[in-house]
Amino acid sequence: MVDAFCATWKLVDSQNFDEYMKALVAISQDGDKVVVKTQSTFKNTEISSKLGEEFDETTADDRHVKSIFTMEGDTLVQVQKWDGKETKFVREIKDGKLVATLTFEGVQAVRTYEKA
């Protein structure tokens, strides 16, 4: 299911996202759980959960959210919800690169990673 996403990814392009936030992202699978580790100049985070199972997450900016990972076709989707708000991360593989599209309140950022 998530095999195509299981790699360590290095950010190579970022649109609408502050330069200092460039990050190294590692996505892996631990049994039936998806594991996403992010290292940046801002903060390092690690989250882990089964697909389709909601979990509590503390984000890099210290928000306490309810998160869920799902697979929609060939895309790995993560939705975070808190205080009546929602952020959606859509991760997909395009031409061997990881493309992450982040959407919040109509604002969209696209980040592109290549395998490190």
User: What pLDDT shows up at residue 20?
Assistant: 43
Where are the domains positioned within the chain? 3-115
In DSSP notation, 8-37 reads EEEEEEEESS-GGG-EEEEEEEETTEEEEE
**For 28-59, what is each residue's pLDDT tens digit?**
999 999 999 988 877 889 999 999 999 999 98
Question: Over the stretch 98-107, which tens digit does the pLDDT of each residue have?
Answer: 999 999 999 9
The alpha-carbon radius of gyration of the chain (Å, integer) is 13
Asked whether residue 7 carries a pLDDT value surpassing 70, the answer given is: yes
As a CATH number, domain 3-115 is 2.40.128.20
Is residue 19 predicted with pLDDT exceeding 70? Answer: no
